[in-house]
Each structure stands twice: as C-alpha cells, then as structure tokens.
Chains A and B, each alone.
Chain A
Amino acid sequence: MTEAATDIRTDMRSFLEENFLYMHPGVELKDGDDFLALGIIDSLGFVELVEEVQSRFELTIDDIEITEENFGSIDAIAQFVAAKQAS
C-alpha cells in the first residue's frame, strides 16, 4: 500500500468516526467494510461523504461516479481517489 493510500484511509476513517460512527456504538469499521450494508450512512450522509472526498482531495466527481463501488468502503474510496489523482 502506498503512503498516499494510507493517508487517504486515515483521513477517511477519522472523518467517518467523527461524523457517523458516533451514532453506531459497537461498530468496528474495517477498511473493507461496506458502509451501506452496515447502515452507518444514510442518503444525506452519503452526499456529505462524497462532498468531503471532493473537497478534501480537490477532485471533480461526476454523478455517474457516485456509486457503491467507488464510495462503499474506506478501501473503495482510497482506490477511487488514488485513481482520480493519477488520471
């Protein structure tokens, strides 16, 4: 794993803990865990998550990229952000 990808994961974990996980006692979120399957993010939360990724990593994200494959887990976000940054 690259240092950049580790940073993305750390940033996202900290964001998720502060903003969403406080409402979900007992959930130990692993990097590969599916946020939506665990029910820790609702649709407005999902919007907030996408906006956070957009502003934190200075990306432009198209509507068609807002999918579970790209935003469904910490791993998915790290891969998506790394790929966007590389492109």
Chain B
Amino acid sequence: MCGIAGIVRPRAGPPPDEQALLRMAAAIRHRGPDGFGYSLEDGAGLVNTRLSIFDLPGGWQPIEDGPGGSIIVYNGEVYNHYELRRDLESRGESFRTTTDTEVVLRLLEREGTAALDRLNGQFALAWWQPGPRRLTLVRDRFGVRPLHYALLDNGTLVFGSEAKAIFASGELDAAPDLRGVDDVFTLWGPRPPRTVFRGVSQVPQGGFLVWEAGRIVEERTWWTPSFDADGGPEGDLEELMRDSVRLRLRADVPVGAYLSGGLDSSLIVALAQQETDHQLRTFSVAFQDPNYDERSHQEEVARALGTDHHVVEAGPSEIANAFPDVVRHAEQPLIRTAPVPLFLLSTEVRANDIVVVATGEGADELFWGYDLFKEVVVRELHQRDPEAARELLEELYGYLPASARRGPAWDRFLLETGDPDDPLTSHMTRVEATAAVKAFYRPEVAAELGEEQSLNRLRAGLPASFGDWSSLERASWLEINTLLEPYLLAAQGDRVAMAHGVEGRYPFLDHRVFEHAVRLPAERKLAGMEEKAALRALAADLLPAEIVSRSKQPYRAPEVAPFFGEGAPDWVEESLSSEALAETGIWDDARVAGLLRRCRAGKATGFREGMALIGILSTQLWHRAFFRSGLGSYPAETDEPRMRLDRTEAKEIA
C-alpha cells in the first residue's frame, strides 16, 4: 500500500524537475510513511511513497523490468500474487523481489492489460513504457484505491494517488470544479472521471487509460459490476468468504480488523480470527452520544471471539477538532462527519503497530443491507396494497426518532418522491434529502449549475442492460457506483485510513463474492424486510445470536452539535462568516445565517439541516485548504530517498 505520482511529457527532452518530484512525494508521504523512491529519465519521472507490507527490505519502488525497460509504480495489493508468481515461474520467469508489484509488472509486460482479469486485489498503478512513451494508468474493479490525473494543454500528463500530488508538481494550479461539488451534494461524492478540481480527472473504478506521447489513446473499463445472468453456479458462500478473508490476511506484517458491532464486520472478524494463528486485534469507534454508540455490540463480539479489542471514543470536541484535517485528506466537501471517527481510529491502529485492517464494506451493496433496498420493496408494494405498504414504513430507518418515522410527511417523502419510471427512482429520496444543501447555493451558482446536471450525466451513462435488471439489482448497481466508490471507499475509506498510513482490506469486495451475490436468488439477499439473509445464515454458527439478528444500523456520527456551543472551535463561526462565504463565492449569506441561527439554538436536528451544515462548512474548509495558497504550501521531501533510479541520457553517457 502506497502513494504514487508522476509526470510524463510527450517528448523525451530534459527530465522533470527533481524538486517537483520531491514535492509530489511529500504531498502523499502519509500514504507511504516508510520511505519513498523515484525514477528520473528524459521527459518522465515517477514517484512512490511506500507503506511496506510485502518484502519489507526489498520492495522499494519504482521497479523496472531491467535497465531501460518498463517501470511500475504501484499502490495496493494483488492478493493472489503467490499463485500468479508460481504460474510465471513455471513459464521460466524469475524475480528479484518477493513483492506483488514485480509480479504485476511482469504480467503486464507479457500480456498487457489483458492480464488485469487475473488480478484479485485492490490497486492503482502506473506502468511506463519508455520506448513508445506510453503510460498506462489502472484502477481496481471497485475503485478501492484512488488515482487522479491531469492532461495539460501541452500534452504532459501528471498523475497522483491524490490530487494534492498533482498540485504539488507545479504543473497545474488548483481550481474548483463546481460540477464536481454539485455531484457531492447530489450523490455524496464526485463521480469518476469527474473530480471537484478543474482539469483533474479520476480513472474510473475498474478502468484504465493509456496515454501515449501526449495523447490519451485508449480509455475504457476492464471490469464493471453487471447483473446480467451468466448461468454459472452460485457456489458456496462460506467457502468463498473464507478464501477471500484468507487472501486478505496475506502480509509480511500483522493484520487487524475494524469492528463496528454490526453483522458484516463481525463476520469478517470471526472468519479472520479462525484463519489466523494469533489473537486478532480489533478496533472500534465508540461515541459519547448514546444515539450513535454501538460499543456494547462491539464488546460482545470481541468477547465471544476472543480478540484483543481496542476502542477509540469520539466526543464532540474530537470530531470538531479533526474535521479540517479530514477535509484536507478527503480533498472534497463532505455531507457527513462520519469519516472523522474513522480518521481518529486509524491513529489508534497505527499506534498499535498495525498497518493493515480487514473491514466489512461492500456487504450492504452486494447483499442488499441498506434500508434503501427495503424502500424499493415498500414502494412496489404500495402500487398493489397501499395500506400494507404504509404499515411497513415505520420499520424503515429505525435509527431515526420514532416520532419522525410516522405521519404524513414521512409517508409522502417515502412514497411520493421521484417518478417511478425514472431509472434512478430507487435513489431519489436520498437525492431529494441531500439536495437540501443546494438550497444554500448563491443564485448565480445555482443558475450556472442548472438542475439535475449530475443526475442527467448518471442517467446518460447507465449500462445498456440496466433496464433488464430487477428494481433491486438496479438499486444495487446505483449504490455501488454512486455511493460505494465516490464516498464510502474514498472520503470515508481510503483517505481517512491512509491519512495515517493504514491500509483497509475489503473481503466482501472480492469480485468473486460480487459474482456469487449476483447469482443468489433475490430472497437470499432481501427476504421480505429481512436484509442480508445469506450472510445471516453464514453468521449463525460464527457469531452470538444477538449480533446475527441485529437490524442494520448505519454507521453515523454527530453532525451539528460538535460545532456549536461550549467548547466549539473558533474557526467554525469564522469559516461561516459573511467575509469567508464571500471569498468562497458558493453559498448565500442570508440563508446560511438562517441555518446558523438554528444551529446555535440547538434546533437543527433534522438530517437535512445536518447535511447542509456539514456540506457548507466542509466546502469552506476545502476551499481554504486548496485554493488560498500556491506552490509554497507543498514543501519538498527532505528525507533521503530509499530508491533513486536515474535513467537519464546524461547519466548513461557519463
């Protein structure tokens, strides 16, 4: 697990400025605290910051395929690299390191991008072939690892795991892209290839692009979640999950696990504890506010499974104080504070000398765990039996106050939002609720963005067979593509773990588990109003009964309270002052003043106002972090590089 970055120019010419590469390394050093390396050649420089997980002494990057050959910088893990290595060795290949990186490079050399289908893992990589001046950027199937790039007018391509590495290059000034911001306030995250930065794109999940001598010559997806029936056998979920967990425990360092106290992470912990011969270390977030706290469930699982359990308690001041750092790492406005406790948790993980954690993300999308899927069922029932549907409405979103889950406003919101014929209909209640943030746009910003630009782009890009899938399969595809990658795996996943050099691993996001879930009959996922039936059956022999039968409790954190009242940091009001709002130019001063009155009075308790406050405040912090200062805010790396691969013409002559 690492950070990667680089600059490639259309023609050989002089090498990129070494200081620029050192600035890029420093900008993403948190992703690779163990050291960094870079390569330098005519018109190209590649950077890697390393979090050592395999071949601790020998795995420094960039790795080249012989002098003058192709080079790889790589972030992530290919879990089946032992098997792939054996296969390559049987064909006469030999290796200098025991890393997965070298295996991936050799596979790319031999088979090109066709080799990607053989990789089981989470990775982002850049493969540089100097002869044709070709750079291939690749991202894993679900987009666990990030990869950003900017194609400049002169044909130069600059890339980085995080956008800050691109800005640190000095090749491109940071500027906001309001369309990406509008994506956040529609779907919770900017949807690739778009980002919240003008001129910066992301390689889409399961995608790759090929840049050659100044132009992008190929850009496509190599894997995409499909619900098309393939007629294959569904297989054995237990066997598959055990194998997925076993692969994800592979490392030359100890692996821990996150434990939320819900079914998914508890199941991963149970399987991981059985697979390992040492006591697993588990890590949980607890909250001072009992409305969010799940510690009793976490402790029950830890006790039952005998793990070495660690808890970080997030109080209001911890959440507020860490929020600016989280926004800087997330590199985007947020609508929830939920990433903050996970940012605090990764500090605790690191303090316990753990750098790899297995976690439960992906189960709700694959096995239909969210209430959003139940909403789909209830709305369809409403067409046939309105009374029966209304009775079920109170069962949805059980974490909200009971008084808010009944009455005419609740009924109308859940039953009447959106158009049933809209392909996005399953997601329109979320879109509608999130749009509360957009009500605070300045009129000129709202006019510039227009209505539904994010949704129309999504509608236009739906897969050809989308209409052939069931309503729940369509909802699942949308959830994987609009929430999982742009938000859960990014702002709430990679960024807050890698902020402290911690790698999350996701056994449910093994593509074989996805393919299994697709083949399962619908009722093994959502049986009436019971979610994740197949996972519950699997967990029955592994976990306490109370955990197996627990309803889904979405992970959330306090939103408004940490930022107001006694102990709230001064920068909150300062960031939301008329002057600060004018400088950012996105938010309407008078409307924000109305929201602030409600927040200060403790009345902003609804989810819309919570999202509005966090959306506005995080946008202000994001603006300050990225657009107020220039290159001076990106100092160069001062540590000695662990690898400096000088391949310049000048050196060869010397």
Chain A residues in contact with chain B, CB under 8 A? 18-19, 22-25, 36, 39, 41-48, 66-68, 71-72
Residues of B within 8 A of A24 (CB): 439
With A43-B404, A44-B404, A45-B606 in contact, is A23–B409 under 8 Å at CB?
no
> B461: CB under 8 A from chain A?
no
Residues of B within 8 A of A71 (CB): 408
Which residue in chain A gives the minimum CB-CB distance to B588?
A25
Report the bound CA distance from A72 to B407 in whole Å: 11
> B440: CB under 8 A from chain A?
yes
Q: List 16 A-B contacts (CB under 8 A).
A: A19-B598, A22-B591, A22-B594, A22-B595, A23-B608, A24-B439, A36-B409, A39-B432, A43-B404, A44-B605, A45-B608, A46-B410, A47-B401, A47-B404, A48-B603, A66-B408
Contact A43 B603 (CB under 8 A): no
With A23-B591, A23-B595, A23-B608 in contact, is A41–B409 under 8 Å at CB?
yes
CB B448 to nearest CB in A, in angstroms, measures 15
CB A30 to nearest CB in B, in angstroms, measures 19
Report the bound CA distance from A44 to B607 in whole Å: 8
Contact B405 A43 (CB under 8 A): yes
With A42-B413, A46-B407 in contact, is A23–B443 under 8 Å at CB?
no
Contact A23 B594 (CB under 8 A): yes
Which residue in chain A gives the minimum CB-CB distance to B436?
A23
Report the bound CA distance from A44 to B407 in whole Å: 10
Contact A25 B404 (CB under 8 A): no
> B612: CB under 8 A from chain A?
yes
CB B419 to nearest CB in A, in angstroms, measures 15
Residues of A within 8 A of B384 (CB): none
Residues of B within 8 A of A43 (CB): 400, 404-405, 407, 409-410, 413
Report the bound CA distance from A68 to B410 in whole Å: 11
Contact with A along B424-464 (1 / 0, CB 8 A): 00000000110010011001000000000000000000000
Report the bound CA distance from A19 to B596 in whole Å: 11
Contact B408 A68 (CB under 8 A): yes
Residues of B within 8 A of A19 (CB): 598, 603
With A25-B588, A43-B413 in contact, is A18–B597 under 8 Å at CB?
yes
CB B612 to nearest CB in A, in angstroms, measures 7
Contact with A along B176-205 (1 / 0, CB 8 A): 000000000000000000000000000000
Residues of A within 8 A of B597 (CB): 18
B599-653, CB < 8 A from A: 603, 605-609, 612
CB A55 to nearest CB in B, in angstroms, measures 13
Report the bound CA distance from A47 to B603 in whole Å: 12
Chain B residues in contact with chain A, CB under 8 A? 400-401, 403-405, 407-410, 412-413, 432-433, 436, 439-440, 443, 588, 590-591, 594-595, 597-598, 603, 605-609, 612
Contacts A22-B594, A22-B595, A48-B603 aside, 11 further interface pairs with beta carbons under 8 A come to A19-B603, A22-B591, A23-B440, A23-B609, A25-B591, A42-B409, A42-B608, A43-B404, A46-B407, A48-B605, A72-B408
Which of B404, B408, B413 is packed against the most chain A CB atoms within 10 Å? B408
With A45-B606, A46-B409 in contact, is A23–B401 under 8 Å at CB?
no
Residues of B within 8 A of A48 (CB): 603, 605-606
Which residue in chain B gives the minimum CB-CB distance to A24?
B439
Q: Which residue of B400, B594, B607 is within 8 Å of A18 (Cβ)?
A: B594
Report the bound CA distance from A47 to B403 in whole Å: 7
Q: Which residue of B408, B590, B605 is within 8 Å of A46 (Cβ)?
A: B408
Residues of B within 8 A of A25 (CB): 439, 443, 588, 591
CB B526 to nearest CB in A, in angstroms, measures 23
CB A33 to nearest CB in B, in angstroms, measures 15
Residues of B within 8 A of A18 (CB): 594, 597
Which residue in chain B gives the minimum CB-CB distance to A46?
B409
Residues of A within 8 A of B603 (CB): 19, 48
Contact A42 B588 (CB under 8 A): no
Query: Which 8 A/B pairs are nearest by Cβ-Cβ distance?
Result: A22-B594, A46-B409, A44-B606, A43-B410, A68-B408, A43-B409, A44-B404, A43-B404
Residues of B within 8 A of A46 (CB): 404, 407-410
Report the bound CA distance from A46 to B408 in whole Å: 8
Report the bound CA distance from A23 to B608 in whole Å: 10
Residues of A within 8 A of B404 (CB): 43-44, 46-47
Residues of B within 8 A of A72 (CB): 408
Which of A18, A44, A66 is packed against the most chain B CB atoms within 10 Å? A44
CB B414 to nearest CB in A, in angstroms, measures 9
Report the bound CA distance from A45 to B403 in whole Å: 11
Report the bound CA distance from A42 to B607 in whole Å: 9
Report the bound CA distance from A71 to B608 in whole Å: 20
Residues of A within 8 A of B436 (CB): 23
